[in-house]
Amino acid sequence: MSGFFCFPYYLLESWVNNMLQQLVNGLILGSVYALLALGYTMVYGIIKLINFAHGDIYMMGAFIGYYLINTYHMNFFVALVLTMVVTAFLGVVIEFLAYRPLRNSTRIAALITAIGVSFFLEYIMVYFVGADKRAFPQAIETVKYNLGSISITNVQLIILCVSIVLMVALQFIVKQTKMGKAMRAVSVDSDAAQLMGINVNHTISFTFALGSALAGAAGVLIGLYYNSLDPLMGMTPGIKAFIAAVLGGIGIIPGAALGGVLIGLLETFSISVGWSSFRDAVVYAVLIIILLIRPAGILGKNVKEKV
């Protein structure tokens, strides 16, 4: 009789342990989505452009980190910083060549250009490195820690800590620095900001550099985590990061971070309940529901536009 009552208890304990483990995994994955979503939300907030090439900056970051570690045998953290510098420069170049000439064009023209830049980055990499997957160099030896029923690796801790540091640094830049104040001014009214002496072009370029640097860091971190990269690896995470930005409230930096974590949790919990094949569909379904119930996102505010 006692065994009869013990079975549901152990079943419940196993379920709780599994959920706690998935919570940890979801936070790790969500922190990477948050880094990507921040780039989307900053660019949209400042020039109202959905930069669909952002996911491919993430892919470029993974490959840059791969070559720095594999070919030049750099320390992982040195490679991470250099990757952020290179992807920041790449973001500025893309903004200058592809988006700036269309600054006063229709939004659909800029959107189509962003999609074109995305395909260009993907297939230029296919041309130079091939379409096959390759293993990311394991620059850090994996060590597993067991905290009760939860297991976590040093790689996961590094990803989480680096992501948190970068998000805190971004918040500091936006809120406390002169360039951050310029970014906020341009996002509210670029014409008025220009009249006040703010260089709008430099501010927009800085925004692209900042977002691209975060995407490059995310690419290196996810390459280390999944030990795999290919030229098309940025498509799905890029779309999910965009969904995260919309979920949290696009144009709002804390909203992007929140949305990224929620999408990561949603994806890992979908896998834990046996919906691995449908995890992407679950994320897209959440986007549809959010757009129907709260179009401005969780932290967004509904603002009426004058016609």
The answer to the question of residue 123 being in a domain is yes
Q: Give the pLDDT confidence of 171-204 residue by residue, as tens digits.
A: 999 999 999 999 999 998 998 999 999 999 999 9
DSSP string, 175-240: HHSHHHHHHHHHHH-HHHHHHTT--HHHHHHHHHHHHHHHHHHHHHHHHHHHS-B-TTTTHHHHHH
Q: Is the pLDDT of residue 7 over 90?
A: no
Please state at what angle helix 154-176 crosses helix 178-188, rounded to 10 degrees. 70
CA–CA separation, 38 vs 295, rounded Å?
A: 18
What would the two tokens of residue 67 be?
A: 């070559």
Element (H, E) at 151: strand 150-153
User: At 110, phi and psi to the nearest 5?
Assistant: -65, -40
Predicted TM-score (pTM) of this structure: 0.91
The answer to the question of residue 53 being in a domain is yes
Question: Domain range holding 214?
Answer: 32-134+144-233
- The predicted pLDDT at position 22 comes to 86
Q: Give the pLDDT confidence of 94-114 residue by residue, as tens digits.
A: 999 999 999 888 889 998 999
CA–CA separation, 245 vs 258, rounded Å?
A: 8
Q: For residue 126, name the pLDDT band (cuts at 50, 70, 90).
A: very high
Q: Give the pLDDT confidence of 59-102 residue by residue, as tens digits.
A: 999 999 999 999 999 999 999 999 999 999 999 999 999 999 99
The answer to the question of residue 253 being in a domain is no
Give whichever of 11-20, 124-133, 141-150 has the largest mean pLDDT.
124-133
User: At 136, phi and psi to the nearest 5?
Assistant: -75, 135
Angle, alpha carbons 271-298-15 (nearest 5°): 30
Instruction: Share the mean pLDDT of the chain.
Output: 89
The answer to the question of residue 269 being in a domain is no
Q: Is the pLDDT of residue 305 over 70?
A: no
Angle, alpha carbons 118-120-125 (nearest 5°): 105
Q: Give the pLDDT confidence of 226-265 residue by residue, as tens digits.
A: 888 999 999 989 999 999 998 998 888 889 999 999 999 9
- Are 51 and 95 in contact by the 8 Å Cβ rule? The answer is no
Q: What share of the chain is helix, strand, coil (3-state, %, to 5)?
A: 75, 5, 20
- Are 228 and 219 in contact by the 8 Å Cβ rule? The answer is no
Give whichever of 18-32, 72-86, 276-290 has the largest mean pLDDT.
72-86
The answer to the question of residue 260 being in a domain is no
What would the two tokens of residue 12 be?
A: 């419940």
The answer to the question of residue 218 being in a domain is yes
The answer to the question of residue 272 being in a domain is no
Q: Which sign, positive or negative, has the C-alpha torsion 225, 161, 212, 239?
A: positive
3-state secondary structure of 304: coil
Instruction: Look up residue 204 and give its amino acid.
Output: I
DSSP string, 224-259: HHHS-B-TTTTHHHHHHHHHHHHHH-TT-HHHHHHH
Total domains present in the chain? 1
The answer to the question of residue 303 being in a domain is no
